[in-house]
Amino acid sequence: MLELYGEVRAGYLEFARFADGASDTFAQWARAVAEDDEVVAWLGQLPPVKRQPNLVFAAARAHGVPAPGPYEGFRAAVLGDEGAAIRDTILTHATQTNEARRLATLLPALALAAEGRPLALIEIGASAGLCLLPDLWAYRWRTPSGEHAIGGPDEPELECDVTGSAPLPTERPAVAWRTGLDIAPIDVRDDERVRWLETLVWPEQHERLARLRAGVALARREPPPIVTGDLRRDLDALIDRAHGEADGAAVVVYHSAVIMYLDTEDRRAFEAAMRERVAAGRCHWVSMEASGVVPGLVADAPAGHLVLGIDGDAVASADQHGAALRWLR
């Protein structure tokens, strides 16, 4: 996973390794950027958090750069007449990828945290809220001993390959209460914002695009509530609301590929605050981030995998887009 506050060349090479096997186009573009002095200099004029390949490449695509397509098209756009418009899009937009298939890897952890009770869900970095709907999808987990499926035949399905002794649930969770927290929420009824979400899907990943559209259709039936706010200041108020409005439910704070957007000091402060909340019995905590992004959550994870944690303990690694789960215990 790209270290957002690191050096440009190293960051793009790291991203290329992360994209290998997931997007040949983005892997090739990222390696070419790392060797291109002029493009590196162009990126160096952006704020550090805005130099991330996901955002830069999506902004270029939004301005007509073909992907799949050759690196030369991207290079000509950012260094040419389109460069100013692409830069403006980078500065005014954010990566808010809403990959619903992550629910297939999060659901076993959410079920463990529920301890048989209904869930009160608080998702940090909820974007359009597609991962706030674990009870509306069907699931199919492929394990070495066979398939394990829950949900109805007429519902959109999330598939995932599983290794290890993952505690796969036998039914979907009961959700008593749900709310997202995001610094810039996306309204699923806003066609322009949804088009940006679609642009963030990596080229060649047609199944992801179809899944995003299915998730948007689900969310549009009854849009999940999402509060505009900052996880560093506004989370405690949401936890209090969950306890007050969903008495008896298991309050679970969860996030996936979100804490990477904080700097090192804020990551440490967030981890310490979450461990305090868990110790005080205020909530459970389910996290899915690259190894070490949450400083105390480090595990051996294959390339392209995130570390899944429950209450600050690593329990599994999961493919960044939800395609695979490897239980560690």
Whether residues 134 and 35 share a domain: the answer is: no
pLDDT tens by residue, 22-74: 899 999 999 999 999 999 999 999 999 899 999 999 999 999 999 999 999 99
- Using only C-alpha atoms, what is the Rg of the chain? 19
Q: Would 69 be classed as within a structural domain?
A: yes
Domain end point (choices 71, 92, 113): 92
3-class DSSP string for the chain: CCCCCCCHHHHHHHHHHHHCCCCHHHHHHHHHHHCCHHHHHHHHCCCHHHCCHHHHHHHHHHCCCCCCCCHHHHHHHHHCCCHHHHHHHHHHCCCCCCCCCHHHHHHHHHHHHHCCCCEEEEEECCCCCHHHCCCCCEEEEEECCEEEEECCCCCCEEEEEEECCCCCCCCCCCEEEEEEEECCCCCCCCHHHHHHHHHHCCCCCHHHHHHHHHHHHHHHHCCCCEEECCCCCCHHHHHHHHHHHCCCCEEEEEEECCHHHCCHHHHHHHHHHHHHHHHCCCCEEEEEECCCCCCCCCCCCCCCEEEEEECCEEEEEEECCCCEEEECC
Percent of the chain, pLDDT > 70?
Answer: 98
Q: What is the pTM of this model?
A: 0.87
Whether residues 230 and 185 share a domain: the answer is: yes
Whether residues 44 and 171 share a domain: the answer is: no
Q: Would 1 be classed as within a structural domain?
A: no
Give dist(CA 3, CA 205) in Å, integer: 23
Q: Would 66 be classed as within a structural domain?
A: yes
Give dist(CA 219, CA 225) in Å, integer: 10
Residue 253 has what pLDDT?
Answer: 98
Q: Would 78 be classed as within a structural domain?
A: yes
Percent of the chain, pLDDT > 90?
Answer: 89
Domain end point (choices 60, 92, 124): 92
Give dist(CA 299, CA 307) in Å, integer: 7
The label of the residue with tokens 């750069």 reads 65
pLDDT at residue 1 greater than cutoff 70: no
Q: Would 312 be classed as within a structural domain?
A: yes
- Interval 235-263 mean pLDDT: 96
Whether residues 134 and 276 share a domain: the answer is: yes
pLDDT at residue 5 greater than cutoff 80: no
The label of the residue with tokens 């080229």 reads 203
Whether residues 78 and 214 share a domain: the answer is: no
pLDDT tens by residue, 94-150: 888 789 999 999 999 999 999 999 999 999 999 999 999 999 999 999 999 999 999
CATH number, residue 187: 3.40.50
Q: Which domain holds residue 22?
A: 8-92
Give dist(CA 79, CA 132) in Å, integer: 39
Residue 6 has what pLDDT?
Answer: 58
Whether residues 53 and 135 share a domain: the answer is: no
Contacts of 193 (CB under 8 A, 6+ apart): 128, 186, 187
- Interval 75-81 mean pLDDT: 97
How many domains are contained in the chain?
A: 2
Whether residues 261 and 308 share a domain: the answer is: yes
Q: How confident is the model at residue 210 (pLDDT cuts 50, 70, 90)?
A: very high
Whether residues 75 and 128 share a domain: the answer is: no
pLDDT at residue 302 greater than cutoff 90: no
- Interval 236-257 mean pLDDT: 97
Whether residues 244 and 182 share a domain: the answer is: yes
Give dist(CA 226, CA 124) in Å, integer: 10
- Interval 158-179 mean pLDDT: 96
Residues paired with 148 in a beta bridge: 141
- Interval 160-169 mean pLDDT: 96
Q: Are 263 and 190 in contact (CB under 8 A)?
A: no
Q: Are 140 and 302 in contact (CB under 8 A)?
A: no
Domain end point (choices 30, 65, 92): 92
Q: How confident is the model at residue 329 (pLDDT cuts 50, 70, 90)?
A: confident
Q: How confident is the model at residue 214 (pLDDT cuts 50, 70, 90)?
A: very high
Q: Would 3 be classed as within a structural domain?
A: no
Whether residues 50 and 190 share a domain: the answer is: no
Q: How confident is the model at residue 2 (pLDDT cuts 50, 70, 90)?
A: very low
Whether residues 177 and 310 share a domain: the answer is: yes
Q: Would 147 be classed as within a structural domain?
A: yes
> What is the residue type of 305?
H
Q: Would 97 be classed as within a structural domain?
A: no
Whether residues 70 and 116 share a domain: the answer is: no
